[in-house]
Amino acid sequence: MFGHSYRGTVVWLLIVGMVLGLTLFAGEIPNAVGAALLAAYMAMVLLVARNVRIGSVFESLPNPRARRAQPTEVGREAAARARNHPDYDSLIDLLDIGLVVDEQRPDGVSLRRGRFISLDDDGIRPFAIVHVPETLDEHLAHVRFEMRDEAGRAQYVYEDEKWLRAGETPLLPDYRLPVRRNQKPLDAGNWSMRVLVDGGLVGVHHFNLAPSLVERRRMMSSDGEIRERVWRSDEEEDEALPLSLEELLRQQSRQRNPG
C-alpha cells in the first residue's frame, strides 16, 4: 500500500494524523502511550518527507517467523561433546555431522550416509553442516577434519580454506579415507571424527568401524553367535544424505570423471 503512490501515502498520513489527534485530544489513552504513538507518527512523516519508501523499511525488519534449520540428533550430540573441550567455538552452530560411504562402481558413484561402517567398505569421508552467523558472512575460514582410531591415532586429516556464507553451509572434504584398500591396514573399533573452523572445535562425532566379513566369521562362536559385539544386519538401512550434500558429492565426482 505504501509504495504504490506517493500522493496516496500523504493522504493516508493526513487521515491517520487526524484520527490520532482526535484520540489524543479526547484523553482516552494514557499519556505514555499517546507520546509513543505521536513519536511513531512523526517518524513516518519524516520518512515520507525524505521520499523514503515506508514499505521497504518494514521489509528490512527481521521476520520473527523466519526460523533457521534445527540441528539433528546426531548434530546435537556432537556439539555437546565439543562443549566439554577447551577449544570449543560457540560462534558457529553445528546442524549435522556424519560420514559418507563413497564407492566407485562401473555404473557410477554409490553414495550413502554411513551409520554402520565396515572394513569391507571402499572408502569414507566426513561431512558437517553448520550455521554461520551474519558476522562471519563472506569469511575465508580454515576448516579441518580429523578421524582418529580407537587408540587415538590420526588416520585422516583434511585442511583447506573455505568461504563461509551466512546461514546453512555444508562442509565437505575433497577426498576420502580409503578403507578396504588402505595401504596401512586399519583397526576396527570405536573411532572419532572432529570438525574445527579457524581452530575452534565445532563438533565431535563417534562411530564404529566393524571388522571385515572374513574377520567377523572368525569371531563367530561355536553356537553361531558373534562374540562381544553385534555388527550391522542386512535389514538395517543407513540414513539418506542431505540433498545439498549429495549434490556436492556428485559435482566432485563429475569433476574427477569429466565426460
**Where along the chain do its domains lie?**
6-60, 73-256
End-to-end Cα spacing for the chain? 53
pLDDT of residue 30: 73
Q: Is 67 left (phi over 0), alpha (psi -120 to 50) or beta?
A: beta
| Residue 222 grid coordinates | 561355536
- Per-residue pLDDT tens for 105-121? 666 667 788 777 889 88
Residue range 166-194: mean pLDDT, rounded: 92
Residue range 100-107: mean pLDDT, rounded: 73
215: helix, strand or coil = helix
**Average pLDDT of the chain?**
77
Residue range 7-30: mean pLDDT, rounded: 69
Choose the CATH number for 73-256 among 3.10.20.30, 3.40.980.10, 3.40.50.720, 2.60.40.10.
2.60.40.10
Q: Phi then psi for 129, rounded to 5 degrees? A: -120, 120
- Helix or strand holding residue 90 (H, E): none
More confident residue, 53 or 113: 113
pLDDT of residue 236: 43
pLDDT of residue 229: 47
Residue range 65-83: mean pLDDT, rounded: 86
